């Protein structure tokens, strides 16, 4: 009786084009793919069905997660599937160059046959030529469609149609009609504009909005930037803008915002202070980047004192500064500097500090010690085995003695080597502790030197300290030092 042949294994890749009104849904594409595979005697397991999220563009392969996952699985040696089914070749890619590259990878390196359900073509060179023509047409269609869409949107904007995504406080009406007010969201916008007009700053408004449970249009907490965007958005004052086209919209606006909008813009311009860009290596303060907030763990940003101020600036949690949480976590630079120097001084003269141990990865000595310990633990079992072999008459007395002497010598040699490794580790640890002490002393000397620049001081401090957490409730700094194990 002839043995039944196992079906070939296939995969399915599904992507929906949002620009194609005649496009089949993902479920419909998959249904047609499975029907075609079944007719070919090919089985498509659920784990080899790759469906992109709706709206993912076919222009670039690196933006498609499921596509990259499919390619990665196919490149396993050997490939777990031998066929890849598509609804159309354009679902694979709308970029002819990328399409050629990835198809070559699948066909030549992975041995995968690619089949289009709605565009069946013959095998051989003529079939490949037809496939290339289809790909060229798809790429032309994609670029041409993009241009047509842009021209259509420009014409719509010139005709004063609404087509942008609604901002907070509004919802789309469809068909290019004026947006409608969303009452629940609009009260958030009213609160922001009124609060700013009443004198609150951006951070305070963000904190107050978050305390009230308000969220942005995308469902995120408010920060300075999102508050500023709402205050500057001319849509709330009746102006609709798309690219460089603006017009007086016919959507509803309310006096609760329009009555204060102009004054808010004047205040925003007066308070705007452009910050000069600084290089990444520039160090505002030598403790910058090390101090952390005890409430949320975020970095404490350094704020310089004003030119007329008497202090030397302060550190403040950046999340609080942007209004992302209500607890202020600030400490003056003068106080922080004094506490850091005091901690370094104590670290030099005492061993009672609490350190964070940072182990070096891949230590061959540690691995060898573990192997030796494992070998030593197996020797008693080996002894029992040779004794059992002697008692059962498998080995003679001389053979038993020889085996026993060999195991005892092995045990002795392993113990000698273990002690050598422990001695080496102890010496290395002593040397590393001396190096750490040297770095501590160097950091202390540099931080105490008024002539040393911030970058030099910061580099020295980072060589011995991983982070410093400011616990405002306990009013103290917690230091986490590096130390070699």
At 48, is the pLDDT very low, low, confident or very high (cuts 50, 70, 90)? very high
| Ramachandran region, residue 117 (left: φ > 0; alpha: ψ -120 to 50; beta: rest) | alpha
Average pLDDT (361-390) is 78
The reply to whether 217 falls in a domain is yes
Verify that 139 and 210 share a domain, yes or no.
no
The angle formed by the CA atoms of residues 325, 295 and 191, to the nearest 5 degrees, is 10
The reply to whether 405 falls in a domain is yes
Verify that 68 and 22 share a domain, yes or no.
yes
Report the C-alpha gap between 215 and 299 in whole angstroms: 24
pLDDT of 385: 87
Verify that 46 and 149 share a domain, yes or no.
yes
pLDDT of 366 higher than 90: no
* Helix ranges (DSSP H) in 297-363: 318-321, 333-349
Q: Which residue has the tokens 């020797």?
A: 379
- Which segment of 127-141, 314-328, 417-431 scores lowest on mean pLDDT? 127-141
At 280, is the pLDDT very low, low, confident or very high (cuts 50, 70, 90)? very low
Average pLDDT (108-113) is 86
The angle formed by the CA atoms of residues 440, 441 and 446, to the nearest 5 degrees, is 100
Query: Of the candidates 457, 420, 186, which has an alpha carbon nearest to the alpha carbon of residue 344?
Result: 457
Average pLDDT (353-371) is 55
Verify that 389 and 473 share a domain, yes or no.
yes
The reply to whether 54 falls in a domain is yes
| Burial (CB count <10 Å: 0-12, 13-18, 19+), residue 231 | buried
pLDDT of 124: 54
pLDDT of 353 higher than 50: no
Average pLDDT (303-310) is 61
Query: Of the candidates 12, 17, 96, 13, which has an alpha carbon nearest to the alpha carbon of residue 56?
Result: 17
Domain, as residue range, for 75: 8-154
pLDDT of 191: 94
Q: DSSP states of 230-276 as a string?
A: HHH-GGGGTEEEETTEEEE--S---HHHHHHHHHHHHHHHHH--PPP
Verify that 247 and 178 share a domain, yes or no.
yes
At 446, is the pLDDT very low, low, confident or very high (cuts 50, 70, 90)? confident
At 306, is the secondary structure helix, strand, or coil? coil
pLDDT of 5 higher than 70: no
List pLDDT tens digits, range 231-251. Answer: 999 999 988 887 777 788 889
The reply to whether 292 falls in a domain is no
Verify that 226 and 260 share a domain, yes or no.
yes
For the ranges 30-39, 308-317, 388-397, 429-438, the maximum mean pLDDT occurs at 30-39
pLDDT of 416 higher than 80: yes
At 466, is the secondary structure helix, strand, or coil? strand
Verify that 254 and 379 share a domain, yes or no.
no
At what angle are helices 333-349 and 397-448 packed, to 10 degrees?
Answer: 140
Average pLDDT (53-78) is 78
Verify that 12 and 149 share a domain, yes or no.
yes
Verify that 16 and 93 share a domain, yes or no.
yes
The reply to whether 430 falls in a domain is yes
For the ranges 23-37, 158-172, 417-431, the maximum mean pLDDT occurs at 23-37
b (16+ CB within 10 A) / e for 380-391? eebeeebeeebe
pLDDT of 339 higher than 80: yes
pLDDT of 200: 87
- Which segment of 33-37, 115-119, 139-143 scores lowest on mean pLDDT? 139-143
The reply to whether 184 falls in a domain is yes
Verify that 235 and 195 share a domain, yes or no.
yes
Assign residue 101 the CATH number of its domain: 3.40.50.1390
Q: Can you state the percent helix, strand and coil of the chain, rounding each to 5?
A: 50, 10, 35
The reply to whether 63 falls in a domain is yes
Verify that 146 and 188 share a domain, yes or no.
no
Considering 271, 294, 323, which residue would you say is the last residue of a domain? 271
Using an 8 Å Cβ cutoff, are 325 and 296 in contact? yes
Query: Of the candidates 457, 478, 482, which has an alpha carbon nearest to the alpha carbon of residue 469?
Result: 478
Q: DSSP states of 345-367 as a string?
A: HHHHH-S-S-----PPTT-HHHH
pLDDT of 230 higher than 80: yes
Considering 271, 297, 328, which residue would you say is the last residue of a domain? 271
Verify that 28 and 135 share a domain, yes or no.
yes
Q: Which residues contact 162 (CB under 8 A, 6 or more apart)?
A: 172, 173, 176, 177, 178, 179, 240, 249, 251
Using an 8 Å Cβ cutoff, are 273 and 266 in contact? no
pLDDT of 356 higher than 90: no
At 386, is the pLDDT very low, low, confident or very high (cuts 50, 70, 90)? confident
Total domains in the chain come to: 3
Higher pLDDT, 99 or 300: 300
Higher pLDDT, 430 or 380: 380
Using an 8 Å Cβ cutoff, are 446 and 287 in contact? no
For the ranges 1-15, 81-95, 210-224, the maximum mean pLDDT occurs at 210-224
Higher pLDDT, 214 or 301: 214
pLDDT of 49: 93
How far, rounded to the nearest angstrom, does the alpha carbon of residue 177 sit from its chain's CA centroid?
39
At 421, is the pLDDT very low, low, confident or very high (cuts 50, 70, 90)? confident
Report the C-alpha gap between 22 and 145 in whole angstroms: 14
The reply to whether 349 falls in a domain is no
Assign residue 254 the CATH number of its domain: 3.90.1750.20
Q: How high does pLDDT run on average in the chain? A: 79
Considering 252, 271, 290, which residue would you say is the last residue of a domain? 271
């Amino acid at each position: 009786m002839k043995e039944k042949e196992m079906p070939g294994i296939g995969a399915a890749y599904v992507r929906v084009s949002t620009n194609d009104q005649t496009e089949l849904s993902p479920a419909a594409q998959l249904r047609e793919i499975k029907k075609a595979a079944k007719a070919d005697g090919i089985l498509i397991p659920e784990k080899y069905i790759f469906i992109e999220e709706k709206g993912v563009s076919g222009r670039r392969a690196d933006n498609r997660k499921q596509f990259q996952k499919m390619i990665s699985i196919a490149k396993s040696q050997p490939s777990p599937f031998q066929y890849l089914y598509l609804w159309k070749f354009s679902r694979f890619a709308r970029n002819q160059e990328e399409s050629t590259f990835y198809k070559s990878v699948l066909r030549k390196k992975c041995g995968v046959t690619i089949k289009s359900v709605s565009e069946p073509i013959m095998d051989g060179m003529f079939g490949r030529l037809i496939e290339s023509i289809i790909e060229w047409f798809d790429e032309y269609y994609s670029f041409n469609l993009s241009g047509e869409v842009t021209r259509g949107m420009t014409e719509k904007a010139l005709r004063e149609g609404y087509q942008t995504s609604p901002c907070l406080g509004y919802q789309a009406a469809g068909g290019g009609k004026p947006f409608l007010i969303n009452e629940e969201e609009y009260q958030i916008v009213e609160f922001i504009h009124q609060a700013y007009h009443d004198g609150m700053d951006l951070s305070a408004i963000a904190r107050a909005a978050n305390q009230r449970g308000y969220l942005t249009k995308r469902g995120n907490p408010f920060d300075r930037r999102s508050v500023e965007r709402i205050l500057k958005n001319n849509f709330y004052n009746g102006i609709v803008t798309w690219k460089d086209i603006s017009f007086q919209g016919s959507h509803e606006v309310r006096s609760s915002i329009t009555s204060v909008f102009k004054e808010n813009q004047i205040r925003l311009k007066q308070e705007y202070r452009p910050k000069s860009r600084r290089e990444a290596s520039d160090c505002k303060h030598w403790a910058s980047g090390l101090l952390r907030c005890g409430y949320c763990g975020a970095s404490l940003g350094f704020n310089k004192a004003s030119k007329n101020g008497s202090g030397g600036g302060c550190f403040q949690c950046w999340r609080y500064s942007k209004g992302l949480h209500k607890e202020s976590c600030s400490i003056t630079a003068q106080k922080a500097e004094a506490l850091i120097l005091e901690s370094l001084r104590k670290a030099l003269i005492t061993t009672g500090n609490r350190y964070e141990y940072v182990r070096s990865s891949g230590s061959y000595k540690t691995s060898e010690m573990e192997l030796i310990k494992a070998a030593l633990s197996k020797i008693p079992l080996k002894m029992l085995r040779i004794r059992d072999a002697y008692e059962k008459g498998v080995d003679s007395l001389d053979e038993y003695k020889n085996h026993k002497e060999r195991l005892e010598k092995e045990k002795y040699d392993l113990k000698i080597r273990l002690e050598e490794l422990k001695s080496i580790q102890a010496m290395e640890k002593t040397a590393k502790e001396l190096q750490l002490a040297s770095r501590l002393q160097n950091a202390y000397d540099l931080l105490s030197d008024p002539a040393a620049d911030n970058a030099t001081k910061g580099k020295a401090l980072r060589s011995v300290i991983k982070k410093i957490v400011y616990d405002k409730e306990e009013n103290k700094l917690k230091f986490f030092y590096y130390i070699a194990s």
